[in-house]
Structures are given as structure tokens and as C-alpha cells.
Structure 1
Amino acid sequence: MKRLLSFFLFFSIIVFWSSCRNDFEFSPSTGNLGFAKDTVYLDTVFTNIGSSTYNLKVYNRSDEDIVIPTIQLENGVNSFYRMNVDGSTGLEGQQEGKFFEDVELLANDSLFIFIETTIDIETLTASDIQFLYTDRILFDSGNNQQDVDLVTLVKDAVFIYPNRDETSGIIETLTFDVDGDGNPDETTLQGRFLEDDELTFTNEKPYVIYGYAGVDEGETLTMEAGARVHFHADSGIIVTNGASLNINGSISADHENPENEVILEGDRLEPLFEDVPGQWGTIWLFNGSVNNTINYATIKNATIGLLSEGNQDEMEDKLTITNSQIYNSSAFGILGRATSISGENVIINNSGQSSFAGSLGGKYNFTHCTIANYWNSSFRQFPALLLNDYIEDENGATITNDLTEANFNNCIVYGNDNPEFFLDSRGSVFNFKFTNCLLRFDNDNLANTGNYMFGDANFYEGNSFNIDPDFKNGFENLMQIGEDSGANGLGSTLFSALVPNDILGIVRGASPDAGAFESIPFQD
């Protein structure tokens, strides 16, 4: 009986509440909408590549429920923008994403409009390499009309991408001699070899690469000063046997706006992606590629900035890199495998593993370089600088190869971990030397043992340990050193005579600083 009485009491309350409630009544909007912003800037996009999604919050600050008769793009069906209003795509057909009718908005409530764009610059202008595209979102009409501007900078570009079979949908993959037996091998790397007329990258338009752009045997890919190269996810450049890469940037008047550097980065141009590691693959100097040179380049946001393999016994270095910076690599800044690399005025920082790794032996010479690692996005298991002379095959067997030389002169090797260099030898030839370097190594268990006999002048000479390099901001890749740096005056003139100017073109003095930069007073 009590249950029955409780049920009737509950039912009576519901009926009473329902009889007292008025149905929502929506009044037409009167032009009093509020907006989170009066202009939505969709960041720079490449022609024919879709943007990220941006949002606009629209407010009804009145005490009445309203209906907005229309929300539409001013350019209508011809607009390159498209919208979604609180989950709705609007009218069907050509007006989908362009036109919305009778959008309801409760009192003191808000709604979201999501905006995207894909723009074909050729339909706008045939001559400009960039174009400012604008439109407006119109709310209501007549005297009640309100609007919000939409603005996007669109860049034209040269697109390099593999072919796709229209029937099967299979994307072209690279075929070249992988194992050195003289016969071409099929790979799973999506991409294609560059045509003859694509082997010079100029500064006229940016280049956007999908998949791996291959440099074929006997060919040279040249990048001129000021070239801009953007890579889609899982993309990069591969320089095959007998081929070369020459990046010919030059010094810029403004270090903050390096117009003459060659910049290689991902194809996401939004500020959110400016420093995101691992957006693309690598520049792969394959075994047998020759005479690779890089000068005044910035390589950022790759998985491995530079991967160099083989050719350690050639008279000429496989790779010569000068006056260049490599940042935000999700794995390694430079990874060498049984190869030969020469570097001057090189800066490497923020790598998920090591900034520089010379593995499976090789030959390496770095002078006035800053090899740092202030990675803070995750745990890293390796130091800023790693040298070893072996690999383990799939059966667990150890294969060694000579580290014929590894010289670091007037360098900084530092970071936010300790120690920041690791020397792992298992073979019979492991030649290295640090001379007049600032090093981070504070480990009592390893110091003065094995490869860390810091008093042995055959391996360590004129170095300083564990003194703050006073970087401007290592976590933000600002690697200039201040007047209080432990690298000040540490360098030897024997090596500064070989590299007389720092990466900014500043002349090194009678007491040169270690690293790629001469010290400067920082401004507050």
C-alpha cells in the first residue's frame, strides 16, 4: 500500500510540474548576438591542403530564447570556407556547410561554429605565390545583420608526391639498389625519384613533399639560399648510391628572420605545430651517396634530422655540415652509422634520444659545435652525445666496426640530464678525443674508468666540466651563450683559426668561446 501511495504522489508531482511548464518559445534574434572574436584568423595554409579546424563562440546574453533566421557565408556556395554549427552541416547539396536556417539559441547560452578551409590559389590569382583570402559569416539579414570576418593566408607551392594507381589505389614506392649487389630492390618507402627539372629547389615557391623524394644515382639535388621545404607525415628525402645532396644556404642579416637559410620542416604551418617533434621522417644519406654538403640550413621537427650511412673509409667525408641547426627531432638530431661526418658551427638540440649519435663506428670531426639536449617532452634513455662501435643482429650476435676517429674540438656537450655523453666500445679500435670542450659529466661511478679517464691527454685535453653554459633558453632552442657561460674563453685558437667566425658571422677573438656562438650580453 505504501508503495502505491508513493507512486501516486510521484506521478502527481510530475503532472503538476508539467502543467506549470511553458514550452520553449523562441523569438527572432534582434542583432544582439555576442562573439568571442570579431575576426577568425585561419593560419597560413598551402594551396589545396585543408586547414585545421578553428572555432567561433556565439553568445545569446539576453533572457529570451532566440532563433537566428540565417547563418551563412557571404560568398555563398563559391566560398572556400565551410562551417559546422553546433554539430549541424546545414542545408544539403551545394549549400552544405555554407548556409544554415533557424538556428535556435537558448537564453544566456552559447553555440560553437567550427570553420575549415581548402583553397585552390589558381582560381584566385595566377601570378602571386601567396594570397590573402577573406570572407564573412553573416548572422541574420537586413537591420539585424551581424558579421564576423574570416581571414586566411594561402601560399602557392611546388608539390612533389608519388603516383597513385587509379584502379588499385596503390601508391608508388621507391625501387633502388638497397643491398649493394648492383640490382634494384623494391622497398616499402612510398615516394618517387625526382625528375631532372625538379633537382634544383629555389626560393621562388615553397616545396611540399609527400612520401620520400629520391635522388637517383649520378644526380645531385641542390637547394638554393632561401629555399623552404615542407614534409608531410612519414616523408623525407633519400639520397641513393652515387647521388648527392647540396644545401647551399647563406648567412642572413637577421638571425631571428633567416631569409637566406634553407629551412626544412613539416607542412603544418599553424603556430601550434611550430615546435612539435616527429612531424616527418628524415633526410637519409643512403650508403653509397657521396659529396653531401649542408650550409646554413635549419632542420626541425623530424623523426631523425639527418641519417647518414656508410662510406666511412672514403677520402672525402660523406657529409660536411656547416653553420646549421637541427631542432626538435623525436629520435635523433644526427644519426651516423659507420659513416664519415665533418661539422663546423653546428647546433643540435631537443632530441627524443640523442642529439648526435655515431653508431657502429665511423669517422667524425666536429669543431665549434653545440651538441645539447634539453628535451622535456618524455623520458629519454640516451645522452646528448652517443658513440659506439657495434650493433647486435637479430640473433643477438655482436657486430663491431672501427671508430677510426671521433674528434670534438671547442665544442659544448650539455643538457638537462647527466651525464650528457656516453662512449660504448666493444671492438678493438675506438679512437676519440675531446679538446677544449665544455662537457656535462658528473658521475662518480664512471669517472676515471674505462673511456672516461679525464686525466689522459690522449683522449681529454683542456676541457671544463659541469659549468653552466648559460644558454639563453635551451628548452626553447635559444642556444646563444651569455657572458657568464662556462664556455667563455675555453676554446683553443688552434681550432678557431679553422673556423674564424661563429654561426652569426661574428669574428672569434684571441680567447674564443667553445660552441657555435660567441657569447653576448643578454638583454633583460
Structure 2
Amino acid sequence: MTRFLYFSITLLFLMLWSSCRKDFEFTPSTGTLQFSKDTVYLDTIFTNIGSSTYNLKVYNKSDNDIVIPNISLKEGFNSLYRLSIDGMLGENNGTPGSEGKVFENVEVLAKDSLFIFIETTVDIENQAATANQFLYTDAIEFDTGNNQQTVELVTLVQDAVFIFPDRDNTTKVIDTLTLNIAGELVVTDLQGRELLPDELTFTNEKPYVIYGFATVPPNETLTINAGARVHFHDNSGIIVPNGASIHVNGAFSNDQDLLENEVIFEGDRLEPNFSETTGQWGTIWLLDGSVNNTINYATIKNSTIGILSDGNPNETNNKLSISNSQIYNSSSFGILGRNTSISGENLVINNSGLSSFAGTLGGKYNFTHSTLVNYWNNGFRQFPAVLLNNFVLDEDNNATIADLTEANFNNCIIYGNDNPEILLDEIEDDAVVFNFKFTNCLIRFNDTNNNYTGDNYNFDDTLKYEGNIFNEQPDFKDPDSNQLIIGEDSAANGRGLATFSTQVPLDILNTNRTGSPDLGAYQHVTFPEED
């Protein structure tokens, strides 16, 4: 009985409360809305490629529930912007896809807000573009007449050369690549296609946007001119197969912020929050049999593996020669060599999920005046900045071994935020050699627990180590931000061997180093004092 009485009283109370409650009464807006932004800047996009989604918050700070009679784009149904308001897509003018332009009678409760999400896709060919760029603008209008308020919309649209995989016109299946790997034709599941003859020279007139893997035809050369910009979509890259070459012909830039003459490889997301995001695209892959690959004054950033080089360990002139170049923000390796031959001068590598440089399954490597460091801060890192080994394991854990013919590091800085930053992982076998030498390098290696033993870590062996400095500070400007120029307090200052500085007389910033060479790719500077 008591339970029934309690239930009855509760029900009666709810009925009386609901009968006294007024329904929401919405009054027309009076032009007093407030906004999180006066102008929404949608960052630079490529023509015909959709932007990211941007948001605008609209506040009703009055004590009244209001209705906004009309929210629309100034250009109406002709606008190239698209809106979504708290999940609503708006009116349709009878044309498919016309939603997201005009909204009627949008309600906002007192002291509440609503979200507007904004996107755009623009075809630059239909606009009056200048210098391959077009500033596209519109505005969101709230209400009409004297109560009208506006928020401007602005985005820069950039024209580009697009390289897409071929599609079958009937099935819409995207073509996949058949590659010549070690003399054997291998059908892969990689999307992409061979570059056409008129695509084998990349200029600086327009940026290039690559979807899938663009493959250089056998026995041809892809030439990339100074100032070119190459952007890659997710899971995309460049493949240089048997008999083919890539020549990246960048030049020194007077403006180190713009890098106007440098060739830049990066992802196709142009928004500022993606400018340093790792793993946005695949790799530049030099297959076994590719020859005479050269890279000068390039920045390779935000890839999975900056450069993957396979085979040709005995090339007289090296399979890859890379100079005056920077590789940053690779989610695994900056450069991964597998039984290959690479020479590097004024090379800077940093911020790699595994190793900045890994020479695996032997090979031949020579680095002079290079800064090979790793200040990865996106999680645990299991490998050092520089890794050398002479083997590869198959899925059954069986090892294939090969000669490490030579691995010379001269006047280099090998450092990072872990310890130690070199690993010499040799399977000892009389059938192969494991030759390396570090000469006049600044190295982080402090084996306090004596975990690294054996002849490879005998730092008194002058056949392997000579004139090196261990565990002293390089005094980088800001390694977390890939600013690896050294300051006047660096232990690397004046410690270079003149023999090697004569071979590379200018540093990566074109500063003469022959008088008193510093270690690494940069001569030191005096950093301004912080306020």
C-alpha cells in the first residue's frame, strides 16, 4: 500500500509540473549572435581535392530561445563551400548534391550554441587563377536585412600536376604494379603506374601530387628540377626499378624558410597541423638494379621510409649519392639500405620511429660531414640512430648473411635522445666481412651496464675508431623541431679532420668549413639569447 501511495504521489507531481511548464517559445534572432571566428581560413588545398573539415561555433548568449530564419552561403546554391549545421544538411534545390548551402529556421536555445562544419572542393580551371593559385572566398550569412551578420570564408586553391593509377573503364579496378625485382617479374598489390615519357621531368611550375606509386620506366631517368614540390597521397611514393635512375637536382636556397630552390617531398595534406606529421606517405624505393641515383638539396619529410635502397652493393659510383639534404619525420627509417651502396655528404636525418640510418644485410656506406641523429618523441623507439648489420632473417628465423664491405662515418654527429645511438649487430662468419670505421665523430654511446661487448665495441681499436668524442653535448638549436644547426658551445666545434672537410668544403648552408671544420652537416653559429 505504501509503495502504491508513493507511486501515485510521484505521478501526480510529474503531471502537475509538466502542466505548469511552458513549451519552448522561440523568438526571431535580432542580430546579436556571437561567433568563435570572424573569418574561417580553410588552409591551402589542391584543385579538385576536398579540404579538411573546419568548424565555426555560433553562440546565443541571450536569455531567449531564438530561431534564425535563414543561414546560407552568400553565393547560395552556386557556392563551392559546403556546410553542415549540428548534423543538418539544409535545403535541396532539386539538384543532387545541392545540400549544405541554405538552411531555414535554425533554432538555438538560450545560453546555448551550435556548430557549423565547413568544407570545400574547387576546380581551379573554372576560376580566374593567377600563377597557378586562386583565392576562393564566400561568406556565411545569418538572417537578413538589419539583423544580418556574416562570417567570411577564405581558402587558397593551388593548381597541380596529378599522377593517378590507371583505372579499367569497365570495372573501375585500379591498376597494380608488376615490378622487376632482382631480375624477376613480381606482381604486387601496390597501386600505381609507370610514368609516361612526358612525365619524366618534374619542373617547379606546378606542384606534383602522386596517388599510388609512380614508377620510372626501365632504363629511363626521372629528373626533378630545382624548386620542384612533390606531394604524395597515403600509401604512395616513387619506385625506381631495374636499369632506371632518379636525379633530384635541387640547389642552395637563399631563403632557408622558403627553400625556394630545394626539392621538397612530403604528403598532400597542406594544413599546418600536418606539416610535421609522420608516416603520411610511403617511400622513394630504389629497387635492386636501379643505377646512378643522385639527390642534391632535397627535403624528404613525413614518410614511412624516406629512402629505401635495395641491392647493388658493389657499385663503383654508389647506387645512391645524396648530398645537402634533410630527411625528417619518418615513421620507421630515414634511410634503409639493404645490401646496397650509399654515399652521403652534408646529410641530416632526424626523428625516425626506428633508425635514422640503417645499413642492413651488409653493403657499402660512406657518410662525411653528416648529422645522423634521432630525437623521436612519438613513443618508444627500439633501435638506435645508426644501425649496421650483415644479415636478414626469414620467417623461420633463418639468417642470410652478406659482406659489410665498408661503412665509414667521417666528421659526423651520431646522437639522439636514447642511449646508445649506434648498434653494430654482426653475425660472425668467416665467409663474410664486417668492416666499419668511425673517424672524428661525436657519438652518444654510454654503456654503463656493459651490455655491449666484443671487438666491435673496442673503442681503442684504431682500425674501427679514431679521433672520436663520446657523450659530449652537440648543442643543437632545437632537435625536437628538426633544427640541428649547432651552437658555439657544441663539443663538435673545430673537431673535424681537415682531410674530410677538404672533400666537402661548404656546409649544408653554403658556409666555408675548410679553416676550422666542425663535425656534422653544419658549421656552428651563435644562438641569440632568449629574453
**TM bucket, shorter chain:** over 0.9
Shift of 1:3: 1.1
Match of 1:109 among 109, 112, 123: 112
* Structure 2 unpaired stretches of 5+: none
- The equivalent of 2:231 in structure 1 is 230
- The equivalent of 2:19 in structure 1 is 19
Answering whether residue 136 of structure 2 is matched by residue 133 of structure 1, we say yes
TM-superposition CA deviations, 1:125-157 (whole Å, max 9, x none):
365401100000000111111100000000000
Contact 1:446 1:452 in 2 (8 A): no
Shift of 1:513: 0.5
Contact 2:437 2:465 in 1 (8 A): yes
TM-superposition CA deviations, 1:372-417 (whole Å, max 9, x none):
0000101111000000000112332211000000000000000000
**Distance (whole Å) between structure 1 residues aligned to residue 105 and residue 420 of structure 2:** 65
Of 95-104 and 406-415, more deviation after overlay is shown by: 95-104
**Distance (whole Å) between structure 1 residues aligned to residue 480 and residue 167 of structure 2:** 41
**Distance (whole Å) between structure 2 residues aligned to residue 486 and residue 448 of structure 1:** 26
TM-superposition CA deviations, 1:340-366 (whole Å, max 9, x none):
000000000000000000000000000
Give the alignment's TM-score, normalised by structure 2: 0.97
**Distance (whole Å) between structure 1 residues aligned to residue 455 and residue 461 of structure 2:** 11
Contact 1:447 1:453 in 2 (8 A): no
| Aligned ranges 1:421-432 → 2 under 5 Å | 421-426=422-427, 427=429, 428-432=432-436
Shift of 1:185: 3.3
Answering whether residue 507 of structure 2 is matched by residue 502 of structure 1, we say yes
Shift of 1:5: 0.9
Contact 1:502 1:508 in 2 (8 A): yes
Letter in structure 1 aligned against 2:521: A
Letter in structure 2 aligned against 1:247: V
- The equivalent of 1:254 in structure 2 is 255
- The equivalent of 2:32 in structure 1 is 32
Answering whether residue 267 of structure 2 is matched by residue 266 of structure 1, we say yes
Contact 1:307 1:335 in 2 (8 A): yes
Contact 2:182 2:289 in 1 (8 A): no
Answering whether residue 485 of structure 2 is matched by residue 480 of structure 1, we say yes
**Distance (whole Å) between structure 2 residues aligned to residue 254 and residue 518 of structure 1:** 18
Shift of 1:447: 5.6
**Distance (whole Å) between structure 2 residues aligned to residue 408 and residue 75 of structure 1:** 61
Q: Secondary structure at the match of 1:308?
A: strand
Answering whether residue 415 of structure 2 is matched by residue 414 of structure 1, we say yes
| Aligned ranges 1:159-238 → 2 under 5 Å | 159-181=162-184, 184-238=185-239
Q: Secondary structure at the match of 2:457?
A: coil
Letter in structure 2 aligned against 1:8: S
**Distance (whole Å) between structure 2 residues aligned to residue 455 and residue 496 of structure 1:** 24
- Identity between Structure 1 and Structure 2 (%): 65
- The equivalent of 2:438 in structure 1 is 434
| Aligned ranges 1:307-386 → 2 under 5 Å | 307-386=308-387
Letter in structure 1 aligned against 2:140: I
**Distance (whole Å) between structure 1 residues aligned to residue 234 and residue 74 of structure 2:** 34
Letter in structure 2 aligned against 1:204: E
**Distance (whole Å) between structure 2 residues aligned to residue 109 and residue 396 of structure 1:** 62
**Distance (whole Å) between structure 1 residues aligned to residue 316 and residue 506 of structure 2:** 26
Contact 2:338 2:363 in 1 (8 A): yes
**Distance (whole Å) between structure 2 residues aligned to residue 402 and residue 382 of structure 1:** 21
Letter in structure 2 aligned against 1:307: L
Shift of 1:38: 0.5
Of 505-514 and 196-205, more deviation after overlay is shown by: 505-514
- The equivalent of 2:86 in structure 1 is 86
Give the alignment's TM-score, normalised by structure 1: 0.98
Contact 1:404 1:429 in 2 (8 A): yes
Of 486-495 and 366-375, more deviation after overlay is shown by: 486-495
Q: Secondary structure at the match of 2:304?
A: strand
Shift of 1:315: 1.4
Letter in structure 2 aligned against 1:79: S
**Distance (whole Å) between structure 1 residues aligned to residue 215 and residue 514 of structure 2:** 43
Of 162-171 and 322-331, more deviation after overlay is shown by: 162-171
Answering whether residue 58 of structure 2 is matched by residue 58 of structure 1, we say yes
- The equivalent of 2:280 in structure 1 is 279
Shift of 1:450: 2.7
Contact 2:332 2:355 in 1 (8 A): yes
User: What is the count of residue pairs matched by the alignment?
Assistant: 522
Q: Secondary structure at the match of 2:407?
A: strand
- The equivalent of 2:522 in structure 1 is 517
Q: Secondary structure at the match of 1:497?
A: helix
Q: Secondary structure at the match of 1:349?
A: strand
Letter in structure 2 aligned against 1:218: N
Shift of 1:177: 1.9
- The equivalent of 2:470 in structure 1 is 465
**Distance (whole Å) between structure 2 residues aligned to residue 219 and residue 125 of structure 1:** 37
Shift of 1:167: 2.4
TM-superposition CA deviations, 1:56-84 (whole Å, max 9, x none):
00011111110000000011111110000
Letter in structure 1 aligned against 2:357: F
Contact 2:502 2:514 in 1 (8 A): no
Distance 1:448 1:484, change over 3 A: farther
**Distance (whole Å) between structure 1 residues aligned to residue 475 and residue 453 of structure 2:** 27
**Distance (whole Å) between structure 2 residues aligned to residue 19 and residue 126 of structure 1:** 62
Shift of 1:301: 0.2
TM-superposition CA deviations, 1:474-522 (whole Å, max 9, x none):
1110000001111111110010000001000000143210000000001
**Distance (whole Å) between structure 1 residues aligned to residue 453 and residue 200 of structure 2:** 51
- The equivalent of 2:391 in structure 1 is 390
Letter in structure 1 aligned against 2:467: G
Q: CA RMSD in A?
A: 1.1
**Distance (whole Å) between structure 2 residues aligned to residue 86 and residue 188 of structure 1:** 40
Shift of 1:173: 1.1
Shift of 1:333: 0.1
Shift of 1:166: 3.1
**Distance (whole Å) between structure 1 residues aligned to residue 211 and residue 122 of structure 2:** 19
Shift of 1:448: 6.1
Contact 2:207 2:229 in 1 (8 A): yes
- The equivalent of 1:300 in structure 2 is 301
**Distance (whole Å) between structure 2 residues aligned to residue 454 and residue 397 of structure 1:** 31
**Distance (whole Å) between structure 2 residues aligned to residue 348 and residue 321 of structure 1:** 12
Letter in structure 2 aligned against 1:368: H
Letter in structure 2 aligned against 1:292: N
Letter in structure 2 aligned against 1:170: V
